[in-house]
Structure 1
Amino acid sequence: MLKTLDGALALLTRFTLREPTWGVRELAKETGTHHAVVHRVLATFAANGFLTQDSAGRYSLGMRLFELGQVAHRTFAPSDVVQPALDALAHESGETVFLSFIDGAEGVCTDMAQSRQQLRFSIELGQRFGLVAGAHAKAILAFQTDAVRAAVYREAGLLDTADIEARLATVRADGFSHTSEEAAATVGGLALPLWSRDRTRVIGSLAIAGPAQRLEGEAIPRLLDEMKKARDVIEPVVGLTR
């Protein structure tokens, strides 16, 4: 039974921002699962509101998952506290601000406040990203255990990890991460780690991203001061106590 459940959930996780809809045979081919099995699983999810099916027979995520997502979000990062803090930081910094949390070998953007400037960095809510590139990623990865970092490197296909390990050591020593044109051309980033409520582990990051030239030199200490104020508000209410 658990094996069946694992298989069903594996199919459900194929619905992503990049690939939000699937046909039965298409998903069967992608996953190597018999199409009859895929049909039964998707139909069951649809019958319970977790998926919807359009007139062409393609499936997409349903409102039941949206409802559960709202519950999870309010539990993990209550918007009445988090969003005003992000909005204030975006206003003070003039840049896009976003909150991310670790999920396995990846990070997920859960909350954001957009810059009002014409030239700005964009990230989508729910967007997943690898943990080896970008200030927002490194602020998370630097504080993970050796085993977690090794798993992330395997997922990213990194064989020589000496350089990134040295960079992460600097992040741990500094207490923040700064990158320039690492995750994307012309984009700079600045990020602080977010600790769990019991202070035992880093569960995410608070990041600012924008044109690299605006996140250099004298701007860094000023931005870090503003980010630390925002983190002091956000950190006590995000994540789980255990």
Structure 2
Amino acid sequence: MPIIQSVERALRILELFDDREYELSITEISKRMNLHKSTIHSLLKTLQAHCYIKQNKENGKYSLGLKLFERGYYVIENMDLRTNARKFLELLSFQTKNTVHLVLLDGQEGVYIDKVEGHGVTVFYSKIGRRVPLHTSAVGKALVAFKDDSEIENILTNYQFTKRTDKTIMNKEEFLSELQSVRNKGFAVDNEENETGIFCLAVPIMDHTDKVIAAISMSLSSAKVKDEIIDEYKTLLKETGEQISVSLGYGYKRI
């Protein structure tokens, strides 16, 4: 299938921006794209004309425009998963005072599509739209663990086990062993593997085809982790996962 170069370049420009690179100059964009400034300028002006890019008049730098938020909002609002799951996430957060997340699998990463902030601990890493590595997160493990071996092997092809904390899993063999543990227990754990001081539990969400389509997680301070608390939260999380799955048409079978 042919690739339209100008469209690809425009999309690559949009993907340069994130929460760490909120604004970029035309020189910075040119260097990162390895393209001449005149080419970048034309692309930016086209994106700006359609409100996908905006320019700061004070420093001349560019950032993402509100049109992206508008389009993203339409996508999220029309996702049955997010709509169905929201009330259950809110209830779980209310019951536990913890932050809960809803995450989808996209390639070799998870993507946060909803978050309900709890009062117990502030989770800095997670933001709606942000990506999270599979090997460092409870949700990532829950998204992958219940797939068949060929799917898992495909997901992990050329996967990069990037270190985020001293507790991060750093190789395929250890990760596969962890996935087996998740399958055996029916839930996943992230014990400060993605963010220091944060402990997470996660379970998969199934749809009407009996396939894992998402995962939900609960985050709390590692300092509050005790066996009796984890047992309580694990039960509530599994019940919430069951309720969301049933709302999506899944004939729930306990894992």
Identify the TM-score tier after normalising by the shorter chain.
0.7 to 0.9
The 8 Å contact of residues 81 and 234 in structure 1, kept in 2 or not, is answered as: yes
Q: Say whether residues 1:63 and 2:74 are aligned partners.
A: no
Give, in whole Å, the separation in 2 of the partners of 1:174 and 1:159: 22
Q: 1:14 to 1:116 in 2, by over 3 A?
A: same
Find 2:213's aligned residue among 194, 203, 215: 203
Q: Say whether residues 1:112 and 2:123 are aligned partners.
A: no
* Displacement of 1:68: 0.7
Larger mean Cα displacement after TM superposition, 119-128 or 60-69: 119-128
**Residue equivalent to 1:127:** 130
Q: For structure 2, which runs of at least 5 residues remain unmatched after alignment?
A: 164-168, 249-255
**Residue equivalent to 2:52:** 50
What number of residue pairs does the alignment pair up?
235
**Residue equivalent to 2:34:** 32
The 8 Å contact of residues 51 and 62 in structure 1, kept in 2 or not, is answered as: yes
Q: Which has the higher contact order (CA 8 A, sep 6+)?
A: 1
What are the residue-to-residue correspondences of 1:38-187 with 2, within 5 Å?
38-55=40-57, 56-76=59-79, 80-117=83-120, 119-122=121-124, 123-144=126-147, 145=151, 146-151=153-158, 153-154=159-160, 156=162, 160-187=171-198
Runs of 4+ in 1 over 6 A off after TM superposition: none
Q: 1:236 to 1:181 in 2, by over 3 A?
A: same
Return the TM-score normalized by structure 2.
Answer: 0.81
The 8 Å contact of residues 190 and 215 in structure 1, kept in 2 or not, is answered as: no
Q: 1:18 to 1:235 in 2, by over 3 A?
A: farther
Return the TM-score normalized by structure 1.
Answer: 0.85
Amino acid at match of 2:129: G
Computed over aligned residues only, the root mean square deviation of the Cα atoms, in angstroms, reads: 2.5
The 8 Å contact of residues 111 and 131 in structure 2, kept in 1 or not, is answered as: yes
Find 2:205's aligned residue among 194, 199, 205: 194
Q: 1:7 to 1:133 in 2, by over 3 A?
A: same
Larger mean Cα displacement after TM superposition, 224-233 or 171-180: 224-233
* Displacement of 1:219: 2.2
